[in-house]
Amino acid sequence: MTIYGTALLAACLLAGNFLGLLLGQAMGIDANVGGVGIAMLLLIVVTDRLRDRGLLAAPTQTGVVYWSSVYIPIVVAMAATQNVLAAVSAGTVALLAGGLAVAAGFVLVPLLARLGNDA
């Protein structure tokens, strides 16, 4: 059923948020650090493994595909709520980290696309 895809996403989101909170505490920050990103990675890994083992029924895959389609706008909306002014005023480390992440994306996306076409 499609609802199982929703349940799978919810479980990944809860696990990702929990791991993000643990990561934030380990870094000495009282915030969720990367919980949504961790949840996205968990969703990808779990659905891939379940699909490879034949344990992910077609209707469940439909639910996962649906939520994957709407997940990116949700992530963008969540990221927009972050306090960018506080991050920028905290120092150059935040700006450097953001700039390096964007630069890595520009470099890695074409590389990964080429690798994906070779398969």
Q: 36-93, pLDDT tens digit by residue? A: 888 888 888 888 888 888 888 877 777 777 777 777 677 666 666 666 666 667 677 7
Task: From residue 9, give the alpha-carbon distance in Å to each of 5, 22, 42, 65, 108.
Answer: 6, 20, 9, 10, 26
- Taking residues 29-37, report their average pLDDT: 82
- Whether the pLDDT of residue 112 is over 80: the answer is yes
CA distance 21 to 58: 33
* Secondary structure letter of residue 57 according to DSSP: -
pLDDT of residue 72: 67
More confident site: 85 or 27: 27
pTM of the model: 0.60
> How far from the centroid of its chain's Cα atoms is residue 77's Cα?
13
Q: Name the residue among 69, 94, 74 with its Cα closest to residue 16.
A: 74
Count of C-beta atoms within a 10 Å radius of residue 20: 19
Provide the 10 A C-beta neighbour count for residue 41. Answer: 13
